[in-house]
Amino acid sequence: EAQVTQNPRYLITVTGKKLTVTCSQNMNHEYMSWYRQDPGLGLRQIYYSMNVEVTDKGDVPEGYKVSRKEKRNFPLILESPSPNQTSLYFCASSSRAGYGYTFGSGTRLTVV
């Protein structure tokens, strides 16, 4: 089944403790992206990647890192999480630029 898989689905952590949210797609898509969803703000792009080793900042990149060492994987790294990063995170992938993404099921992160 074609899908984007994120892990974990739920995560509670403490301020300053480094964490990684994994994302993997099995569709051989070149484009991958991370979004965060907050009430009343819709989805805002954090980072995106157009291919292996090619990444760029989205609208809200501060406090996040990403890497794209393999085509299928696009992990999101929070080196020192803060409470304002409590949010619902989505990973997504696409075969073409701007063609519409397939989304993962989301990761609900709480930073206390």
Partner 1 sequence: AQSVTQLGSHVSVSEGALVLLRCNYSSSVPPYLFWYVQYPNQGLQLLLKYTSAATLVKGINGFEAEFKKSETSFHLTKPSAHMSDAAEYFCAVSAASGSARQLTFGSGTQLTVLP
Print the binding letters for residues 68-87 with partner 1: x by CB under 8 A, - otherwise.
--------------------
Six token digits for residue 110: 């709480």
Strand order in the sheet with 4-7: 4-7, 19-25, 76-78, 65-66
Q: In the complex with partner 1, which residue's Cβ is closer, 2 or 14?
A: 2
Q: Which residue has the tokens 């063609």?
A: 99
Q: In the complex with partner 1, which residue's Cβ is closer, 35 or 111?
A: 35
In the complex, minimum distance from the CB of residue 78 to partner 1, in angstroms, rounded to a whole number:
20
Q: Determine contact, residues 36/60, Cβ cutoff 8 Å.
A: yes
Q: Determine contact, residues 79/66, Cβ cutoff 8 Å.
A: no
Which positions touch partner 1 (CB under 8 A)?
4, 31, 33, 35, 40-45, 48, 50, 56, 58-59, 90, 92, 94, 96-106
